[in-house]
Amino acid sequence: MTWLLVVVGLLGVSASGPLMAATAAPALVIAFWRNAAATAVLTPFAVRSRTALTGLRWADLRGTVFAGVMLAVHFAAWVGALKLTTVAAATALTCTQLLWVVLVDRLRGVRPGRAVLLGCVVASVGVLVVSGVDLTVSRRALLGDLLAVVGGLGAALYLVAGESARRRLSTTHYTTFCYGTCAAVLAVGCLATGASFVGYDAHVWLLLAAVTVCAQLLGHSLFNHLLAVMSPTVISLVLLLEVPGAALLAAVFLGQAPPAGVYVGLLLVLVGLAVVVRARRAPTEPVEPVA
């Protein structure tokens, strides 16, 4: 049963990229509705257990708000990348959030081991290979690659910022506050850019509902549940399969076939990240997957 849930969760997060790439709406609008809908679903559960908020500190709320802002940066950049480059490249380069986490830890005085450094180097070379190949394709694709890397940075800061807050907040309360903040920031972005919240056809709304259910609720929720019975390291390794999963789904349903050189870079990114995951000590607190 556990591995069945793993497969379902993996399919959910893998479908995220292709679904959003196929949605004919601005990136900020897609990101907004994904988080707003998830917040609406989670809020009743958070309200039902509001007594758990007793003793909440301002520092916890501040950290959660900052995490929500960084999550907005992640989604805005990643969904934007999906509109400019291939799903495979955008998904893999966003997964470099792990490299940013290692860098943040180093700035905080945590010295990475040799295996972690080796994995970072291999993954970074993979990023350069993907970006170099995409530069020969178009500047548009290269811009998408850069946005995906920025999306990885946003995801890393989201995870780091939320670490202390989650020690005192339940997963339900943390994700509700965080997704709500994220949706609010993205709403401001939509208003600032003149993007319309409504006025799309039924097909677009169906895709928005699908990405909310598949990635935000099924993908995230199932992997958070599985953290109770599987180690974070195993979960992190499983989540790396999102890259080939998303690439396969994009090839089948969107007809995307990146140049052969991109696949070489993606392989290097995956190998490097796998080395980093295995070398890093498993965190004491569960880390929510970002997709």
Residues of the domain holding 176: 2-279
Q: How far is CA 237 from the centre of its chain?
A: 15
Average pLDDT over residues 214-232: 74
Average pLDDT over residues 222-231: 69
Q: Is residue 285 part of a domain?
A: no
In 3D space, the residue among 160, 149, 152 whose CA is nearest the CA of residue 107 turns out to be 160
Is it the case that residue 14 has pLDDT exceeding 70? yes
Q: Read out DSSP for the chain?
A: -HHHHHHHHHHHHHHHHHHHHH--S-HHHHHHHHHHHHHHHHHHHHHHTGGGGTT--HHHHHHHHHHHHHHHHHHHHHHHHHTTS-HHHHHHHHTTHHHHHHHHHHHTTPPP-HHHHHHHHHHHHHHHHHHHHHHHH-HHHHHHHHHHHHHHHHHHHHHHHHHHHTTTS-HHHHHHHHHHHHHHHHHHHHHHHT--SS---HHHHHHHHHHIIIIIIIIHHHHHHHTTTS-HHHHHHHHTTHHHHHHHHHHHHT-----HHHHHHHHHHHHHHHHHHHHSPPPSS------
Q: Is residue 44 part of a domain?
A: yes
Tally of structural domains, the chain: 1
From CA 102, how far away is CA 35, in angstroms rounded? 27
Looking at mean pLDDT, say which of 122-131, 170-179, 181-190, 274-283 comes out highest: 181-190
Q: Is residue 9 part of a domain?
A: yes
**Percent of the chain topping pLDDT 90:** 47
User: For position 285, what pLDDT does the model report?
Assistant: 44
Mean pLDDT over all residues of the chain?
86
In 3D space, the residue among 72, 73, 62 whose CA is nearest the CA of residue 183 turns out to be 72
Residue bearing the bigger pLDDT, 206 or 248: 206
Q: Each residue of 264-288: pLDDT tens digit? A: 998 999 999 999 888 875 444 444 5
Q: How far is CA 231 from the centre of its chain?
A: 19
Q: Is residue 182 part of a domain?
A: yes
**Percent of the chain topping pLDDT 70:** 91
Looking at mean pLDDT, say which of 5-9, 194-198, 223-227, 256-260 comes out highest: 194-198
User: For position 29, what pLDDT does the model report?
Assistant: 97
Q: Each residue of 126-145: pLDDT tens digit? A: 999 998 888 888 999 999 99
Q: Read out DSSP for 207-254?
A: HHHHHIIIIIIIIHHHHHHHTTTS-HHHHHHHHTTHHHHHHHHHHHHT
Is it the case that residue 211 has pLDDT exceeding 60? yes
Average pLDDT over residues 143-151: 95
From CA 155, how far away is CA 162, in angstroms rounded? 11
Is it the case that residue 121 has pLDDT exceeding 50? yes
User: For position 267, what pLDDT does the model report?
Assistant: 92
Q: Is residue 284 part of a domain?
A: no
In angstroms, the Cα distances linking 212 to 32, 206, 283 are 11, 10, 27
User: For position 34, what pLDDT does the model report?
Assistant: 93
Q: Is residue 127 part of a domain?
A: yes
Q: Is residue 289 part of a domain?
A: no
Q: Each residue of 229-278: pLDDT tens digit? A: 776 667 777 878 888 889 889 989 999 988 888 889 989 999 999 998 88
Q: Is residue 210 part of a domain?
A: yes
Average pLDDT over residues 39-65: 80
User: For position 6, what pLDDT does the model report?
Assistant: 87
